[in-house]
Structure 1
């Protein structure tokens, strides 16, 4: 899977990666030295923890869709706000609003450095 060449394409590329069901493909979207929040109140970092988090999300069988609400970029950094869900047919298994920070790589592609999958939920308090 090709990494996105524009920050605003990171959400769509991430959804496509998840929909492959392949852990390595999903992990390629992330800077695993960053942070992922796979569930409210739980943040993890490092390759091993990222892999565990990705496997847990992939265990929710269904199709992931991510809508980009906005993506703001300055230089090699960007922040995005997303609305995402995992569905199985008409059944919505997970639905949330996230905030993601992306960094442009030396080759011009973008990776997610911070993925707070639930960071824009109204009832969430930091």
Structure 2
């Protein structure tokens, strides 16, 4: 599959949701910089595209579904920090959806596209 081009930081979330839903975790990992950090759960970290793809495959194998709704975004030069409200299905033992704010940092690449640098859907879990 062709790697989707994110012309804005916000487009990363749209591509993420579609690729995750389609189960294309290898292409999904290409939305991250080479040495990016993905934290799929509190205390868990995947660094680099190979580990990130494996962590995303594990989420899919566990039956997770993910929807994102942009909550807030700040861009300064080539850096964006933003939060989505994530609705994650298939992870709570009682069958309910997990709804939580995420934190992402993205960087504009030299070719003008955007990639994730940090993607931490559980960053604020200490508040719960």
Question: Is this contact kept in 2: 1:65–1:84, CA < 8 A?
Answer: yes
Given candidates 102, 105, 112, the residue that maps to 1:108 is: 112
Structure with the bigger percentage of strand: 1
Aligned-residue offset at 1:93: 4.7
The match for 2:48 is: 46
TM-score (norm 1): 0.83
CA-atom RMSD, angstroms?
A: 2.0
Q: Distance in 2 between matches of 1:96 and 1:104?
A: 26
Residues 1:92 and 1:15: Cα distance change in structure 2 (over 3 Å): farther
Given candidates 60, 63, 69, the residue that maps to 1:61 is: 63
Residues 1:9 and 1:35: Cα distance change in structure 2 (over 3 Å): same
Given candidates 7, 10, 32, the residue that maps to 2:9 is: 7
Aligned length: 122
Q: Distance in 1 between matches of 2:96 and 2:18?
A: 18
Structure 2 residues without counterparts, runs of 5 or longer: none
Question: Is this contact kept in 2: 1:85–1:92, CA < 8 A?
Answer: no
Structure 1 residues without counterparts, runs of 5 or longer: none
